[in-house]
Structure 1
Amino acid sequence: MENNLLTALENNWITLLVSAVLLGGLYFLAKKRVGFGTRVLVALGLGLVAGILFNNFELETEGVGTIGSIYINLIRMIVIPLVFVLVINSIISITNIEFLRKLSVKTIAWFLATTGVATIIGLLVASAINPGAGFELTTPENFEAREVPSFFKVILDQVPSNPISDAAEGKVVPILIFALFIAVAIVKVGAKNPDSVQPFKAFIQSATVILHQVVKFVLRFTPYGVYALIAVMAAKYGWETLEPLAMLIAVSYIALILHFIFVFGGLVTFVAKVNPLKFFRKAYPTIAVAFTTRSSFATLPINLEVMTKRLRISPKIASFVAPLGATMNFNGCGGVWPAVVSVFVAQVYGVALTATDYVLIVVVSVISSIGVAGVPGPASISTTVVLTAVGLPLEGIALVVAVESLIDMGRTAVNATGTTVTALLVADSEGEFDREAFNRGDEDDLELNPA
Structure 2
Amino acid sequence: ITTTTTDWFGIVGNGYVALLQMIVMPLIFISIVAAFTKIQLGEKFAKIGFYIFVFLIGTVAIAATIGIISALVFGLDASSIDLGSAEQSRGTELAQKAKDMTASTLPQQILELLPRNPFLDFTGQRTTSTIAVVIFATFIGFAYLRVARKQPENGHIVKRAIEAIYSVIMSVVTFVLRLTPYGILAIMANTIATSDFGALWTLG
TM-score normalised over the length of structure 1: 0.34
Q: How does 1:105-120 map to 2 (within 5 A)?
A: 105=54, 108=58, 111-112=61-62, 115=65, 119=69
Of structures 1 and 2, the one scoring higher in RCO (CA 8 A, sep 6+) is 2
Q: Give deviations 1:131-154, integer Å, cap 9, x for gaps.
A: 98xx8xxxx998855224223333
User: What does residue 24 of structure 2 align with?
Assistant: 79
- Cα offset for 1:69? 0.9
User: What does residue 190 of structure 1 align with?
Assistant: 148
- Cα offset for 1:99? 4.3
The 3-state SS of whatever aligns with 1:160 is coil
Q: Give deviations 1:371-426, integer Å, cap 9, x for gaps.
A: xxxxxxxxxxxxxxxxxxxxxxxxxxxxxxxxxxxxxxxxxxxxxxxxxxxxxxxx
Structure-2 separation of matches of 1:220 and 1:83: 19
User: What does residue 68 of structure 1 align with?
Assistant: 13
Q: Is 2:140 aligned against 1:179? A: no
The 3-state SS of whatever aligns with 2:116 is coil
Structure-2 separation of matches of 1:125 and 1:71: 30
- 188-197 vs 164-173, which moves further: 164-173
Contact 1:166–1:175 (CA under 8 A) maintained in structure 2? yes
Q: Give deviations 1:138-181, integer Å, cap 9, x for gaps.
A: xx998855224223333222211222233245533322211111
Structure-1 separation of matches of 2:19 and 2:107: 33
Q: Aligned partner of 1:165: which letter? A: L
1:153/1:222 CA distance change after superposition, 3 Å: same
Contact 1:158–1:174 (CA under 8 A) maintained in structure 2? yes
Contact 1:68–1:225 (CA under 8 A) maintained in structure 2? yes
Q: How does 1:220-299 map to 2 (within 5 A)?
A: 220-242=178-200, 246=202
Unaligned runs of 5+ in 2: none
Q: How does 1:378-393 map to 2 (within 5 A)?
A: none
Q: Give deviations 1:262-297, integer Å, cap 9, x for gaps.
A: xxxxxxxxxxxxxxxxxxxxxxxxxxxxxxxxxxxx
Structure-2 separation of matches of 1:110 and 1:174: 12
CA-based RMSD of the aligned residues comes to 3.6
Structure-2 separation of matches of 1:223 and 1:113: 26
Contact 1:84–1:175 (CA under 8 A) maintained in structure 2? yes
Structure-1 separation of matches of 2:123 and 2:74: 41
Structure-1 separation of matches of 2:63 and 2:3: 47
Q: 1:201 aligns with which of 159, 162, 166?
A: 159
Contact 2:33–2:141 (CA under 8 A) maintained in structure 1? yes
- Larger of the two Rg values belongs to structure: 1
User: What does residue 154 of structure 1 align with?
Assistant: 109
Q: Aligned partner of 2:182: which letter? A: Y
- Cα offset for 1:101? 4.4
Percent identity reads 28
Unaligned runs of 5+ in 1: 1-9, 16-60, 251-451
Q: 1:163 aligns with which of 115, 118, 121?
A: 118
- Cα offset for 1:106? 5.5
Structure-2 separation of matches of 1:78 and 1:117: 23
- Cα offset for 1:227? 0.6
